[in-house]
Every structure is written in C-alpha cells, then in structure tokens.
Structure 1
Amino acid sequence: MSKLTLISHHLCPYVQRAAIALFEKNVPFERITIDLANKPDWFLEISPLGKVPLLRIEQADGSETVLFESSVICEYLEETQAGAALHPADPLTRARHRGWMEFGSSVLSDLWGYETAEDRLQLDVKRAALIAKFTTIEGALADGPYFSGSSFSLVDAVFAPVFRYFDLFDTLGDSGIFDGLERVRRWRKALAERASAKSAVGEDYPQRLMQFLKTHNSILLRPSVAA
C-alpha cells in the first residue's frame, strides 16, 4: 500500500476538502501542517505553486509522487481508493457536480474579501455577492440532507469548509446572508454534523480564525458592524 501524507495549513479550506475526502474514504494518512507565512524550503521544493494542499504518495517500491491542487487530489482519491463513491456514476451528473465544485471555489473567493474587509463598503459588496451565490445554490439543491440527496459527495466536501467560517462569523453578528434560504440552512447543518467535516480541522480552528481576523484588521470585529 502507498503511504499518503497531506501537507496542510490550519485554516486552509482547500486542505479541508482533501482531508474530508480522505476521511470519507477511510484512508490512513499522515498530516504535516506548515506555516504559510514562513514556508519551509522542503515545501517550496515540492510545491509548484507554493500552496497547500499537497498529497505526497510514497509507493512500496520507494518512489514518490506529489500531487497539488485540491480538486486533483480529491479526484485521485475517488479513482484509486475504495469506500463510498464521492462522485455520481452518471457522466453528465458527475460533470454537473464538478461545475458546482468550481462554484464553491468562487464562493471562497468572495469569502476572502468578506472576512478581510476593512471598511463597510467592501464588506457590503462581498456580503451581496455571497447572498447572490447562496441564492443561486438554493435553487440547485435537492431535498437533502446533502447536495444531491442522501449521498455525500465531493460537492459537500467543498462546501463544508465554506459553511465552517460562518460558525465563527455568526458569533460576531447576524449578517443575514442565509435569510430565506431554507435548503441552504439545512445543508449547512447536515455538513456541520458530518464526522469527516468535524475531523478536517483542529480543535483550535475558531481561535486561529479569530486571530486571522485580528491580523487582517477585519471590520467584522468592530461592534455592530457584522450585523
């Protein structure tokens, strides 16, 4: 069997996608967490983009391969590991799921702007963008509990880290981003309760995210602004 090592960062949502896929497939793996503000030389030597996640695959014959980009890692795990399928068998449905995975990445882009906003105007622009995207996905959701029904998929693995941000944001004020989006709310709750999603981050995740907001002088931390 190959030895798998996930090169990680404490907060990275893309790392969480890969970790969730590994947990869902029940694949043993080692996890190495690095500081992206002080990237070690060995990491830069094996990461073409200087980003996480990386999946290091050590074969029984001693050879080693490093995969980068979370979508590539998740697809590789789906194709090579046993366990419950995380992609639909139907090619058209599978392609549709891949599209919604990319949609999830665009949500993360808006989330970055939202959490690092230093003024009200930027916050409101990103809040409106997030509302628009979650409204769009409200119309794409099945009856649940997961994206396409009863089966957990890679789309769910993409969105579980998205919703995790709001567990902290909600303690800072009511953004109203999910108002009227009942299917999205149910989906968020189901993903928060999934064992693989819980295991994808450390227990200190909320504290680390709070420190991230402080470091970036986020307007979310100012009284009565997040609401």
Structure 2
Amino acid sequence: MPTQQSFATGSACPELEAGTLRVYSMRFCPYAQRALLVLTYKNIPHEVVNINLKNKPEWFLQKNPLGRVPTLEKDDRIVYESAICCDYLDQVYPDNKLTPDDPYRQARDKMTVEVFSQFVSDFQKMMSSPPQEKPESLQKIKNNLCEFESSLTARQGAYFGGNAVQMLDFLLWPWFERILIFAKVVPLTFSLEDYPALCEWTKKMPECPAVQKCRLDPQQFLEFYKSTKAGAPDYDVPKTSQS
C-alpha cells in the first residue's frame, strides 16, 4: 500500500502533470484499496495522493464534494465512489478485463455487492457497539456469510469470479483482509473456518500478485485502528520493520 504522507486542511494541491492518472486515497481505507487493486492488477500507470479524511484539504472537496476516497483524476476528468471508479477503470483500460461479459453475471455480482454493503455495516456496528447490542449484528453477519458461502460455492471455482480473480473478488477482499487481521487480536465471536469455501478463498486471494502488492501491514493497520477508536486517527502511521 502507498506510504506517502497525507494532505490535510490548509495544504496546497500537488501539481498534476497532463496525461497522468492520479488516485486520491487513504492508506488504510478499504474502499480506496478496491481501486488500487484494480489499478495494480491491470498494470495501469498512476500516482497516489493520500488524503487526511478528518481534516480534508479544501481543494479536495472542490474535486469531490462528498469528500471520499477513492477519487480518480486525469486531465479534466474526475471520477469518485469506489465501485464506480473500478468499473470506469475496467472500461477505459480494457486489458486484463475484470468484469464478466454476461449481463446476468454482472447483475448477480452487483446484487452480491449490495448484500456485502449491509455486511460491512453490520460488522462495523458489532465492532463498535456495547456487548448487549452485539448479538443482533452478529446474527446478521452470520446470515450474510452463509449467503457469500453459497454464492462462492455456486460459482464452481476458487474465486467469486470462478476459476480466476474478477472484479467481485477485488470489491470484497479489502474487508476480509481486515477481518483476518482483527481475528488475530480481537475475539470476533464468529469464525471463517465455519464457512469452508470462504475460508479457502481467503487463503487463495493472497496468491494474487495485485493483492500482494496492495496488502496491509497488520501492525500499521492496528495502530491506525487504535488511533481511530481514540478519536484521533493517525493517517501517517510510520512503516514498521516488516513493511
């Protein structure tokens, strides 16, 4: 993952050379990681500018009024929202195509992403809610994991894309990477071992070169998570000796 220092309120926007594709990112953001995975997999030349999402630069809000990453910029064109960015990249740079050609498979993948959005919301609630509120979120998470397990099994391959990594794999992977990190240090009250196909998928995905290049440093991520929970997110957590 990129390690450039993040730009905050009051900073000047770095000059963008004509013809250069820039992605505005944040080192620990799973949504930004989606776009970085696609860029890396498709070998698309690009530069990364990291954003302090708590104290966003004024110039960034002018480019993206929602103030979210990832945001793509090239010449006079700006694209934002992670799934839209990934789809845009796959169309503009058609080599190593990630989106299936079949309309039904495209629709099925988009439905899975919608279900996954709810899964992410429930997981975040479980991680931040008091103990008495956790059971409801946990049950929703388990229901979603059962759906993902069935979906993956039906695709008759190691990946959500079947026998090869496709867009859906990259759209889902960043959160599972984080779950695997959390599972080593925090009791999650659920285990991916209960979902054999999903568990095998989480072991297979790190074999993908793009995933290797965009992987999180667990220690860095946990330091960032701690700072976020304390109310002062450190977007510039230094590299560790393992980085």
- Shorter-chain TM band: 0.7 to 0.9
- Aligned residue in 2 for 1:129: 140
Unaligned runs of 5+ in 2: 1-17, 233-243
SS in 2 for 1:67: strand
1:70-103, CA deviations, whole angstroms, 9 ceiling, x for partnerless residues? Answer: 1111111111113211111111112211222222
| Alignment partner of 1:192 is 2:203 | no
Higher relative contact order (CA 8 A, sep 6+): 1
d(CA) in 2 for partners of 1:108, 1:174: 14
Of the candidates 164, 170, 187, which is equivalent to residue 151 of structure 1?
164
Of the candidates 125, 138, 153, which is equivalent to residue 113 of structure 1?
125
Unaligned runs of 5+ in 1: 59-63, 217-227
1:16-67, CA deviations, whole angstroms, 9 ceiling, x for partnerless residues? Answer: 1111111111101111111111111111111121211100112xxxxx1110
d(CA) in 2 for partners of 1:125, 1:200: 33
Contact 1:104/1:159 (8 A) holds in 2: yes
d(CA) in 2 for partners of 1:8, 1:174: 28
d(CA) in 2 for partners of 1:31, 1:202: 16
Contact 2:24/2:50 (8 A) holds in 1: yes
- Aligned residue in 2 for 1:225: none
| TM-score (structure 2 length as normaliser) | 0.79
Of the candidates 37, 57, 62, which is equivalent to residue 74 of structure 2?
57
d(CA) in 2 for partners of 1:49, 1:22: 22
- Aligned residue in 1 for 2:180: 167
Q: Percent identity, aligned pairs only?
A: 26
- Aligned residue in 1 for 2:56: 39
d(CA) in 2 for partners of 1:71, 1:2: 23
Amino acid at match of 2:135: D
| Alignment partner of 1:69 is 2:85 | no
RMSD: 2.0
Contact 1:192/1:198 (8 A) holds in 2: yes
d(CA) in 1 for partners of 2:173, 2:196: 16
Contact 2:161/2:169 (8 A) holds in 1: no
- Aligned residue in 1 for 2:240: none
Contact 1:164/1:192 (8 A) holds in 2: no
SS in 2 for 1:7: strand
Amino acid at match of 1:212: T
| TM-score (structure 1 length as normaliser) | 0.84
Contact 1:25/1:84 (8 A) holds in 2: yes
Report how far residue 201 of structure 1 moved: 5.0
Amino acid at match of 1:159: L
d(CA) in 2 for partners of 1:15, 1:146: 21
d(CA) in 2 for partners of 1:6, 1:71: 14
- Aligned residue in 2 for 1:15: 32
